[in-house]
Amino acid sequence: MRSPFELNGPSQPPASGGKPRHLVILLHGYGSDGNDLIGLAPHWARILPDSEFLSPHAPFPCEMGPFGHQWFSFADRLPETILAGTRAAASILNAFLDEALATRGLTDRDLALVGFSQGTMMALYVALRRPEAVAAVVGYSGTLVGASDLAAEIRSRPPVLLVHGDADPVVPYEELARAAAALKAEGVEVTTETRRGMPHSIDERGLLLGGQFIARAFAAVAPAVRVK
């Protein structure tokens, strides 16, 4: 029986035309869907020619309107409620990642997670708790959920790039420094980029930095032995 929470969404195959050597998962924000972030794939295809891009729709309909999806509810903004919602969605996302990698004969070392806003919350939460480190995490305009539990729960330390606009009216810019400090305290290599005057968005500079960051991360783990 298929799970009612099995994720699906748009994808883009490797620009090289061959089998994927890497997998980039794009996690959209609250009230959006996978059709939003799959738009990043054409920008990164040249620098990541052997990467397949998957942009799954979050598992739940958005509570704020008839369209869009959410990874978890924002109806109650209490930290413990958001953490519980993130944990529930993390189990769904992890199952999706495991299946996507196994189907392609890839490992976590061949995987990059990219998130925007609520998608960044999911990317960070999941990546830090997977048994094996993914190649990279890129988070735009997001925050770190479960920071107080991270010391007890962290299992891997992938390199992380966080990009945030200092004019963000949705997720406060101060969350960038808070997340970076918590990650560095647990030995995670973190790179941050402040985009001056940028609201809750991704700009061209952020796109460029994200693609370069992922490309370097994949190159760094290229000698890894792959699953046959």
* Residue range(s) defining the domain that contains residue 56: 11-220
| Whole-number Å distance between alpha carbons of 94 and 75 | 24
User: What is the structure's pLDDT at 6?
Assistant: 84
User: What is the structure's pLDDT at 64?
Assistant: 82
User: What is the structure's pLDDT at 2?
Assistant: 42
Lowest mean pLDDT among 68-77, 116-125, 158-167, 171-180: 68-77
User: What is the structure's pLDDT at 168?
Assistant: 98
Encoding tokens for residue 71?
């990874």
Nearest to 110 by CA among 215, 11, 218, 219: 218
Active site residue 110: no
Q: Give the bridge partners for 155, in sequence order.
A: none
Q: Give the bridge partners for 152, in sequence order.
A: none
Q: Is the pLDDT of residue 228 over 90?
A: no
Indicate the average pLDDT of the chain: 94
Q: Which of 50, 200, 201, 203 is catalytic?
A: 200
Q: Is the pLDDT of residue 216 over 70?
A: yes
169-207: pLDDT as tens digits: 999 999 999 999 999 999 999 999 999 999 999 999 999
pTM (2 d.p.): 0.94
**Residue 208 falls within a domain, yes or no?**
yes
Number of other residues whose CB lies within 10 A of the CB of residue 45: 17
User: What is the structure's pLDDT at 4?
Assistant: 57
**Residue 2 falls within a domain, yes or no?**
no
Active site residue 50: no
Q: Is the pLDDT of residue 143 over 90?
A: yes
Active site residue 168: yes
Tell me the percentage of the chain whose pLDDT exceeds 70.
Answer: 95
**Residue 4 falls within a domain, yes or no?**
no
**Residue 5 falls within a domain, yes or no?**
no
**Residue 57 falls within a domain, yes or no?**
yes
Q: Which of 32, 51, 55, 117 is catalytic?
A: 117
**Residue 227 falls within a domain, yes or no?**
no
* Domain count within the chain: 1
Q: Is the pLDDT of residue 46 over 90?
A: yes
Q: Is the pLDDT of residue 226 over 70?
A: no
**Residue 226 falls within a domain, yes or no?**
no
201 phi/psi in degrees, rounded to 5? -165, 180
Binned at pLDDT 50, 70 and 90, residue 65 comes out as: confident
Pinpoint the alpha helices (H) of 63-192: 79-104, 118-129, 150-153, 174-185
**Residue 81 falls within a domain, yes or no?**
yes
What are the start-end ranges of the E strands in the chain? 11-12, 22-27, 51-54, 60-61, 69-70, 111-116, 136-140, 160-165, 190-195
**Across residues 110-126, what is the average pLDDT?**
98
Residue 145 belongs to a domain with what CATH number? Answer: 3.40.50.1820
